[in-house]
Structure 1
Amino acid sequence: MGTTLMTGASRGLGREAAEHLLRHHPDRHLLVFNRRPGLAAELIERTGNPNVTEVVCDLASFADIRRAAAEVDRPLDGFLGNAGLQMATTRKLTADGHEMTFGVNVLAYHLLLTLLRPRFTNPARIVVVASDVHDRDLNTLGLIPPPRWDDPRELVKPAEGTGRAGRRAYATSKLGVIYLVHALRRRLPEGIDVYSYNPGLVPGTELARDAGRVGRAAFRAVGKALVALPFATTPAEAGRLLAETMTGPRPGDSGSYISRGEVIPSSSESYDERREEELWAAADELCGLPSAGTPPTGTPSPGVTSTPRRSA
């Protein structure tokens, strides 16, 4: 029986993906990392599939990530990193003193995947959820400012700012996810594939739950209007596509960017080996990991010479 470890399975498209996996692949085991206990029991009750266990883990704490990773006692042939957050400001901090959005959306995955790497079988598939808002040319109707990359040691510093700064930090963190995936690809052996995944516009995922009562109401109102647009996806459909990316045929070359089930090039800015390696080295330092050095270069990143990119 194969095992997939999943984060972000408690609500929204992640909950839909988890239930789809359990209903359509009853012979697989799902191990969920969740901030509060009880998710495994909920999933078992909802799907009737008992092949679910959980480890309590707060991704905003390096100590908790280390403890949770140490509790994983089975081989993994799948990893689905869906947990992520968008904060109302850039002032909130993780337990380790880093800006919350970058700390959870980028650093937590760097640390978790590094600690879990010995647990992955060969073959295995790793999928980390990114977003098309990483692309500064994407038209977000003014809701999400474009990313603004900087030295990662600066990006983890809290700053004064409005909700716009918090939303920009989210876009920047999703660009960081793609950089991490590209850097990890160069470090994984053949047979262990890693992908970044864009679910597209999915209204109703409670991504803005930190925005306060007025902000949440505004996002819900906008979401109701956006859900009718042709490029919007329901949580159920987005969850299905995400689950099938984990369990279906090999999507494409390791390191690829998958948008709503289709491999496409990500933004031109997201292919930058210098930034990727600088982020990797900084993340090692910030997470308290020993540096493993720089892998061989010269292999083009997937998507660089692909067909013209299409926004989701």
Structure 2
Amino acid sequence: MKHTIVMTGASRGIGRAAAEHILRQSPDAHLVLVARGSSGAQLAAELGAGGHPVSHVSADLGSLSGVGSAADKIRDRLDRGDLPPLRGFVGNAGVQYTNALAEGPDGFEATFAVNVLANHLFVRRLQDRFAAPARIVLTTSDTHFGDFKHNMGMVPGPVWKSPEVLARTGAFPKPDTAAGGRTAYSTSKLAVIYLVHEYARRLPAGIDAVAYNPGFVPGTGLARNAGPVARFAMRRIMPVMALTPFATGPGVAGRYLADVVLGTTHAPTGSYVDRSRAAHSSQESYDPQREGELWEAAERFTATYAAKAETFSGDVTGTPR
């Protein structure tokens, strides 16, 4: 049956590999790519070669007004019948800055805006257009564990604070340093899991939400805002680690992501998928109080851009699995 999957972060690395795999494995899927500027048109043309149904919507994910506009364009296309029923949203885009001082156009810290609020706004604006069975997949990270086993000492663990603090610049010690930027990243990925747990409580039956962790994937564009030495190491040296159990190559990680999106990997709503299987996320990531507080804050932060969205009608008392 023909259906639509909306995807962010498909231009390179894990996302590009996942998009290619989705199109190969699910020929009935119309893939709608969300990308900045003209890059979306080029990407859609490349992925659509051979007759695959691919289109794009332009948006800067750091701008909530841009995200809201992109989501509304997708809603309009669905309502007009230009797109088949919506059965998937993949929030794979993510950023990591060299400090915790980057501010987006809406006044939010840029890491939090892209990695957390943009995903939430897409889910809220598209929620009443999903046709069950549907699946929402948000990409998280090993870094949310905060220990050497998962981070190999490269990224500080998350430092949770109230969402009102996390959403603003300077939330962490030494915010002008790379450590501050990496802490913002790992904390945002913990927030992604909190949101998935809350979606599992609130979304109607048949619309699942899953957090996907690709593991350590060197060679992607995540370090593009780092200094030249770090960028060189990520592009040229660390990809060799993909030959070891400590890392995953972008192609394999992309295939794992596609398997989660397509339901090939068994993952009930609220699940955390570690590469190719459902697993337990960190102990810290199961905290209903934080999850509820983040939900309420994200609602406030995105209210201006989600004014037309209807309230979730699902049960809000469930427990994420």
Q: Paired residues, what number?
A: 302
Structure 1: give runs of 5+ residues left out of the alignment: 303-312
1:112-123 maps to which residues of 2 (within 5 A)? 112-123=122-133
- Is the 2:135–2:209 contact (alpha carbons within 8 Å) kept by the matching residues of 1? yes
Partner of 1:307: none
- Is the 2:11–2:43 contact (alpha carbons within 8 Å) kept by the matching residues of 1? no
1:55-110 Cα offsets, whole Å, 9 max, x none, are 00111111111111110122310111100111111111111011111111001111
RMSD: 2.0
Residue 205 of structure 2: SS of its match in structure 1?
Answer: coil
2:180 to 165, 186, 190: 165
Structure 2: give runs of 5+ residues left out of the alignment: 79-84
1:282 to 280, 284, 297: 297
Q: Identity of paired residues, percent?
A: 45
Tell me how far apart the structure 2 counterparts of residues 296 and 24 of structure 1 sit (CA, whole Å). 33
- Is the 2:269–2:320 contact (alpha carbons within 8 Å) kept by the matching residues of 1? no
Which has the larger displacement, 174-183 or 280-289?
A: 280-289
Partner of 2:59: 57
Which has the larger displacement, 199-208 or 137-146?
A: 137-146
Post-superposition offset of 1:246: 1.2
- Is the 1:26–1:49 contact (alpha carbons within 8 Å) kept by the matching residues of 2? no
Distance 1:26 1:133, change over 3 A: same
- Is the 2:142–2:213 contact (alpha carbons within 8 Å) kept by the matching residues of 1? yes
Tell me how far apart the structure 1 counterparts of residues 31 and 292 of structure 2 sit (CA, whole Å). 32
Residue 251 of structure 1: SS of its match in structure 2?
Answer: coil
- Is the 1:199–1:259 contact (alpha carbons within 8 Å) kept by the matching residues of 2? yes
Residue 22 of structure 1: SS of its match in structure 2?
Answer: helix
1:14-53 maps to which residues of 2 (within 5 A)? 14-46=15-47, 47-53=49-55
Partner of 2:213: 198
- Is the 2:40–2:58 contact (alpha carbons within 8 Å) kept by the matching residues of 1? no
TM-score by length of 2: 0.88
1:101-154 Cα offsets, whole Å, 9 max, x none, are 111100111111101111111111110101111112353222100100000110
Post-superposition offset of 1:43: 4.3
Tell me how far apart the structure 2 counterparts of residues 266 and 200 of structure 1 sit (CA, whole Å). 12
1:221-300 maps to which residues of 2 (within 5 A)? 222-249=237-264, 251-288=266-303, 298-300=317-319
Residue 101 (structure 2) pairs with residue 82 (structure 1): no
Post-superposition offset of 1:5: 0.4
Post-superposition offset of 1:229: 2.0
Tell me how far apart the structure 2 counterparts of residues 213 and 300 of structure 1 sit (CA, whole Å). 44
Distance 1:221 1:164, change over 3 A: farther
TM-score by length of 1: 0.91
Tell me how far apart the structure 2 counterparts of residues 120 and 264 of structure 1 sit (CA, whole Å). 26
Residue 223 of structure 2: SS of its match in structure 1?
Answer: coil
Q: Return structure 1 stretches of 4+ with deviation > 4 angstroms.
A: 289-298
Tell me how far apart the structure 1 counterparts of residues 297 and 141 of structure 2 sit (CA, whole Å). 22
Tell me how far apart the structure 2 counterparts of residues 48 and 102 of structure 1 sit (CA, whole Å). 37
Residue 111 (structure 2) pairs with residue 101 (structure 1): yes
Partner of 1:150: 161
1:213 to 216, 223, 228: 228
- Is the 2:10–2:19 contact (alpha carbons within 8 Å) kept by the matching residues of 1? yes
Looking at secondary structure, tell me which structure has more helix per residue.
2
1:130-189 Cα offsets, whole Å, 9 max, x none, are 111111235322210010000011011112321011011100000000000111111111
Post-superposition offset of 1:216: 1.3
- Is the 2:44–2:56 contact (alpha carbons within 8 Å) kept by the matching residues of 1? no
Partner of 1:310: none
Residue 103 of structure 1: SS of its match in structure 2?
Answer: helix
